[in-house]
Structure 1
Amino acid sequence: MATRKEEIHQSLQGGIYRLRTGSKEFVNILMRYNIPMALVSTRPRKTLEKAIRTIGIEGYFTAIVAAEDVHRGKPDPEMFIYAAQLLNFIPQRCIVFGNSNQAVEAAHDAFMKCVAVASKHPVYELGAADLAVRKLNELSIVDLKNLAGIESPEFGPPEPEPELELEEDNGRSTTVGVDDIFWAGDRCAVPSVLTIRY
C-alpha cells in the first residue's frame, strides 16, 4: 500500500526532485566540518535513492533511514532513534531538521533538538521547535553548536598548543611527575538527522 501511495504521489508531482534554496550550501558546510548526517524519511528507500541521485547529493549521508526500516513513522520517534544508533551518537547530541510539527514532536520525544524549516507551514506555526528558520542557509555552525550545547574544537579555531616552561635550576633536585594537561578523548560533533521532503 505504501508503494502504491508513493507511485500516486510521484505521478502528481511529475517525478520532480529538487533541493530547497540554500539546502545544498548548508549540507556542504556540514560536510566540510565532518558532521555526520543521516537522511530520515517516511518515503520508501527506492524513492529516496532516486531522489538523492537526481539532485546530486550521493555520498553526503552516513546513514539513510527509510519507511521500511521502522515499524512506525512520525510523530513516533522510532525513525530518529534508529538514525542516532546508526550514527553511533546518543539522541541528545542529534539535531533534527524537519518541516512539520510531527517532525518536531518526534524529535523531542527522542530527546533530540529540532530545527524547523518553514515550507508548507509558516515559521509562526512551528513555535514548538527549538529553532525555526525560513531556509537552511540562515543557520551557521555556531547556531548548531549553541543548540547542541557543546563546546568543540571542531567548531572554532584550533586551540593553541601548550608551551612547556623551563624552571631555573636552583641546586635542589626533586623529581615529580605532574600531568596538568587534560585532553578530552571524546570526539565531539553534532550529527544531523535530516528529514527531507519533496
Structure 2
Amino acid sequence: MERNNAERVFTLVAEIGGDIRGRIISERWWLIWIVMGIQILLTNSITQLLLWNGEHRSLIYIGLWGLHILLIPPIIFFIHRRSGGQRTTTETFIWWIWTTFILAATCTGLFNEAVGLPLFFNAPILSLLAAVAFSMMAMVTHRYFLIHAVVFLATMIAMSAFPQAQFVIYGGCWCLALVALGIYYRLTIVPHPARQL
C-alpha cells in the first residue's frame, strides 16, 4: 500500500472513532447517563429505606422496580437526539448488552420469589451482572469499561459484606459510574465534522 493511501485509511479510522465520540455529545448520551445514574440511585435509596423500615412485601418492591424499568425508555427517548444515519453495529450491540442486563437482573429477583426465597436473597448478583455487562462493553467499545467491570466486582463484595446497606452501595456505585462517565464525555469530547478525504 502506498503511503498516501495508508494515510487516508488511518485518517478515516480516526474519523470513525471521532464520530462515535461526537455522537455521544450530539445525541446527548452523556446526559442520559447522568439522569439514569440519578434515577438508579433514587430507586435503590427508596428500596433501602423500605428495607430499613421493615417492609417485606414483595409486591411493593416489584412495583417500585417495575416503575423504574418502565421509566427507562421514556427517559432515553425524551433526552436522546438522533443525529441521523443508520444505527451502527456497535450501537446495536450496546442495546443488546443492556437489555440483556435488565432482563437478567429482573429474573434474579423473580426467581427468588418463585422458589420461596426472599426477593433480594442474592442481590449482590446484580453487581456481578453489571460487571459482566461492562466487560462486554469493553469488548465492543473501549477497554476503559474494564475499570467499571472491576468496580462492580468490588461492589458485589461490598454488598455481600454489608447486606444491611447493600442497595445504598449498589445505587451509589451506579450513580458514580454513570455520572462520572457523562461528565467526562461532556467536558472532554468536542464533536467535530468529518474531514473530506
Q: Give 1 or 2: higher helix fraction.
A: 2
Please say whether Structure 1 and Structure 2 have the same fold, judged by a TM-score greater than 0.5.
Answer: no
Q: Give 1 or 2: higher strand fraction.
A: 1
Max Rg structure: 1
TM, length-normalised to structure 1: 0.30
